[in-house]
Amino acid sequence: MPARLYLAYTGEGRRKVALHPYGAEGRRVISIEMSEGDFDRLCETSEQWRGADWQGQAERFQHCERKYDAPPSWGWRYAYWLDGQWATVILARSFLRETGYRCEIVFDRAGEDGPAYVILTDYASPLWRSKG
């Protein structure tokens, strides 16, 4: 079943955009349905995180939600690389939260295709589930 996300525009001064889980009185609300396939298309690539040698490359990751130089948590199962756009992070993070998964966001300063955001989570995409 697709996750249902809601975008709420405040319409005050500069347009602020916020993801809102249930809509809000006095705001125009746009419903977005997002499937696992849509999540996959937001991601440029993914890798196993736990058990891989990412700790040896810790300096390449900058934290986006805590102190920027805080190391990422190494216990997550998967890492999903997104592009360098924060809007992509908002959609991917909202999908994960709406489907019951926690996540952590870091910035990879040394990605293969240039700097990119990375979402660390225990969510297994259809591709990872097919690998067993």
Average pLDDT per run of 10 along the chain, which is 132 residues long? 52 45 55 85 94 91 83 95 90 90 94 86 93 80
Give Cα separations from 122 to 28, 76, 90, 112, 129 (angstroms). Answer: 33, 6, 17, 23, 12
Domain ranges across the chain:
1-34, 36-130
* Residue 71 CB burial class (10 angstroms; 0-12, 13-18, ≥19): middle
Tell me how far apart the alpha carbons of residues 97 and 82 are, in angstroms, rounded to a whole number. 17
Residue 16: predicted pLDDT: 41
61 with 109: CB under 8 angstroms? yes
How far apart CA 118 and CA 83 sit, in angstroms, is 9
What's residue 33's pLDDT? Answer: 81
